[in-house]
Amino acid sequence: MTIRAACFVVLMFILSPAWAQSPFDGLTEGDLADGERLFRVHCARCHGIDGAGGEGSNLVRSKLKHAADDEALIALLGDGIPGTGMPGMWTLDENQRTRVAAYVRTLGRLEAEEMPGDPLRGATIYQSSGGCPACHILEGHGTGIGPELTDVGDRRGLEYLRRSMVEPAAAQSQTMGYQDYLTVRVRTADGSVEGLRVNEDAFTVQVRDIGGVVHSFRKDDLTEFEKVFAHSLMPEYGTVLAANDMDDLISYLMSLRSGE
């Protein structure tokens, strides 16, 4: 049993009256260890091996946005979250989902990751040398070319955020396997457009250009259609910001949370 699982069992004992109605009642150390094993097989790819987030949400939190209580978390594991990259885990039975949910709850009882810099200073960098509002919306302010950063500390882990700033082309987020901010270049008889793929099917593609204008094309009308997978419109901030500024900016972004 890991230390984390042991802590959880102790916590369950200490808090037993409060846990009287918990779906986790009766779980053993072995169940928790099994939950951790299942987590590593099914969840770690997106949520990180330690659950601190990656492409998927940071689960090292006492409250989870889509799971108000333990029962909701177990149900969510079965059903997934519509409209997100979170699939339903239909290959796990209810007992297994309960063990995974119990393990996920232990993650929220850990100390949060230690921040590498000063979030207050990072807030200033965000607005000034970082130039982030030019492409991101935060609490309603900025331009929505890249992902909205309100609550980004809930949705991403520290290391993922660092990687997405240093090597943005290599740290592209996905939804159901589709790159969220894929750069595409299209050419028609009337000219060319470069921008981000908004949507696509077998016959059409919708592209948002750097000015925020959405263009829709019939693929039949395109003379060129290139998907640029190893590319991001996001600048490589490792060459823009000093190391300590980068730490401060990441610390600021990780502090952007809701629901706690």
Partner 1 sequence: MKRLILITLALCANTAFAQVNYERLVNAAKDGDNWLTYSGTYRSERYSPLDQINSGNVGDLKVIWAYQMQPSTQAGSGLVETTPIVVDGIMYLTEPPSTVTALDAGTGKMIWSWTPDIPNEVLSIGFPRVNRGVAVLDDAVYVGTLDAHLVALDAATGAVRWDVEVADNKKGFALTLAPLAIEGKIIVGVSGAEAGVRGFVDAYDSATGERIWRFHTIPGPGDPGSETWQGDAWQTGGGSTWLTGSYDPDLDLLYWTVGNPAPDWNGDVRPGDNLYSCSLIALDPNSGELKWHFQFTPHDTHDWDANQIPVLLDAEFNEEDRKIVALANRNAFFYLLDRETGEFLHGNQYSKQTWASGLDESGRPIVLPGTEPTYEGNLIWPSLQGATNWFSPSYNPETEQFFVATRLMGSVYYKADVEYEEGQPFLGGGEQALSGDDAAGAIRALDVMTGEQQWEFMLHSPPWAGVMATAGGLVFGGSNEGNVFALDARTGKALWDFQTGGAVRTNPMGFAVNGQQRVVSTGGNTMFVFGLE
Return residues touching partner 1 (CB under 8 A). Answer: 41-42, 45, 75, 78-79, 90-93, 95, 174-179, 182, 200-204, 220, 227, 229
Residue 153 burial class via C-beta count within 10 angstroms: exposed 0-12, middle 13-18, buried 19 and up: buried
Nearer to partner 1, 38 or 241 (CB): 38
Nearer to partner 1, 22 or 206 (CB): 206
Minimum CB distance to partner 1, residue 38 (Å):
8
Give the count of beta carbons closer than 10 Å to the beta carbon of residue 200.
17
Nearest alpha-carbon partner for 130 in 207, 216, 236, 20: 236
Minimum CB distance to partner 1, residue 178 (Å):
4
Residues 6+ apart with CB under 8 A from 74: 23, 94, 97, 98, 101
Nearer to partner 1, 81 or 110 (CB): 81
CA dist list (Å): 215 to 119, 174, 227: 38, 22, 16
| Range list of H helices, the chain | 3-14, 29-42, 44-47, 70-79, 94-107, 119-127, 152-155, 158-166, 243-254
**140 token code pair:** 């309603």
Nearer to partner 1, 41 or 242 (CB): 41
Nearer to partner 1, 113 or 200 (CB): 200
Nearer to partner 1, 98 or 150 (CB): 98
Minimum CB distance to partner 1, residue 174 (Å):
6
Span between the terminal Cα atoms of the chain, in Å: 29
Nearer to partner 1, 38 or 250 (CB): 38
Minimum CB distance to partner 1, residue 208 (Å):
17
Minimum CB distance to partner 1, residue 165 (Å):
22
Instruction: Quote the CA–CA distance of 150 and 166 in Å, as a whole number.
Output: 20
**62 token code pair:** 């006492």
Identity of the amino acid at 140: G
Instruction: Quote the CA–CA distance of 223 and 69 in Å, as a whole number.
Output: 52
